[in-house]
């Protein structure tokens, strides 16, 4: 299982939010590049970077930092947050990002199909952010009535190769990942799934591995690492 250290960018700083709330911010570093290098030095295999300002505003805001991060490390980077056009996907990849996460725009069947045709499914990740089982969009500020499971089925049928599933209620709360929801989603689709939200201990990661679902590719860990609940090296089996 791949462990993805998270770097959430807000106003050029590395931060964490509680349940995605822009008003509940903890700043952990004013040097995201140094943080990226730190996670690589700790043995990180892949970085998960989110432009939070972009997610809230609907267009990229921290791409200078994204480019600097991608140039500073040799491990691949996946990027999400405010990417809503084909040109923005192209620009992100040109910055050196390995793959792009589509959240809000992935709810548009035509856009997702076009993006897959343009860049290939392996360069794209569909972000499924759920609150109480329903998809949330626009930086989690807007709640839809679309079932996360139904949405996952739809985008898989459209050709999605990989998904990130975030349970908003657990994000940043360190209460443990929603194992039943993750298992259900993985069993619903045939593509790779990356879990996000709630991890607080190495035991939580072990519980995810013990789900024994072959398409659960990895887990994103943020606050637990920043709060030093465990080290990235300790998380590796």
64 is catalytic: no
- Angle in degrees, CA 211, 215, 217, rounded to 5: 85
8 is catalytic: yes
Active-site residue, from 51, 129, 167, 171: 129
C-alpha separations of 90 from 72, 95, 98, 180, 220 in Å? 20, 9, 11, 36, 24
Q: Which of 8, 51, 171, 204 is catalytic?
A: 8
Catalytic residues: 8, 129
């Amino acid at each position: 299982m791949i462990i993805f250290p998270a770097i959430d960018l807000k106003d050029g700083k590395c931060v964490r939010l509680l349940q995605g709330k822009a008003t509940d911010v903890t700043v952990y570093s004013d040097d995201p590049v140094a943080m990226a290098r730190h996670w690589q030095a700790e043995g990180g295999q892949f970085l998960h970077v989110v432009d939070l300002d972009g997610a809230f505003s609907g267009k990229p805001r921290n791409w200078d930092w994204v480019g600097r991060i991608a140039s500073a490390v040799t491990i691949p980077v996946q990027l999400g947050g405010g990417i809503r056009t084909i040109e923005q996907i192209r620009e992100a990849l040109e910055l050196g990002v390995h793959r792009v996460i589509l959240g809000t725009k992935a709810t548009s069947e035509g856009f997702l199909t076009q993006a897959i045709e343009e860049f290939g499914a392996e360069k794209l990740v569909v972000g499924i952010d759920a609150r109480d089982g329903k998809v949330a969009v626009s930086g989690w500020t807007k709640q839809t009535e679309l079932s996360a499971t139904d949405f996952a089925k739809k985008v898989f049928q459209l050709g999605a190769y990989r998904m990130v599933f975030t349970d908003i209620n657990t994000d940043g709360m360190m209460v443990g990942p929603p194992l039943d929801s993750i298992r259900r989603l993985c069993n619903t689709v045939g593509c790779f799934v990356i879990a996000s939200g709630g991890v607080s201990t190495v035991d939580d990661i072990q519980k995810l591995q013990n789900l024994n679902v072959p398409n659960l590719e990895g887990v994103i860990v943020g606050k637990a690492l920043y709060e030093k609940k465990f080290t990235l090296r300790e998380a590796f089996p």
